[in-house]
Amino acid sequence: MLQITNGKWWAAAGVRCLKTGAQTLASLIGTGAVGVLDLDWPQMLGVTATAMVLSLLTSLAGLPEVGEGAE
């Protein structure tokens, strides 16, 4: 049974969320010859925030690392 009041669940979901955000932002920055000041930061951060929210919503389906994975 899903227990989002469990601190262990929130810790695991938070780690997943932060990793997803870092991966998303890294992929949006890319490796092109564009300067860091030329990037569209508001749009990139918006996309990153959306990915992080989706990560948390996905965690509601279960987190295997806390024994709540789908079997």
φ/ψ (deg, to 5) at 58: -65, -35
pLDDT for 24: 95
CA dihedral 33, 37, 42, 45 (to 10 degrees): 60
pLDDT over 80 at 2, yes or no: no
Beta-strand ranges (E) seen in 1-43 are none
Q: Using one digit for the tens of pLDDT, what is the confidence trace for 12-52?
A: 999 999 999 999 999 988 766 777 788 889 999 999 999 99
* Residue 7 to residue 2: CA distance in whole angstroms: 12
Instruction: Compare 62 and 16 and report the one with higher pLDDT.
Output: 16
Question: pTM for this one?
Answer: 0.80
What ranges do the domains of the chain cover?
A: 41-65
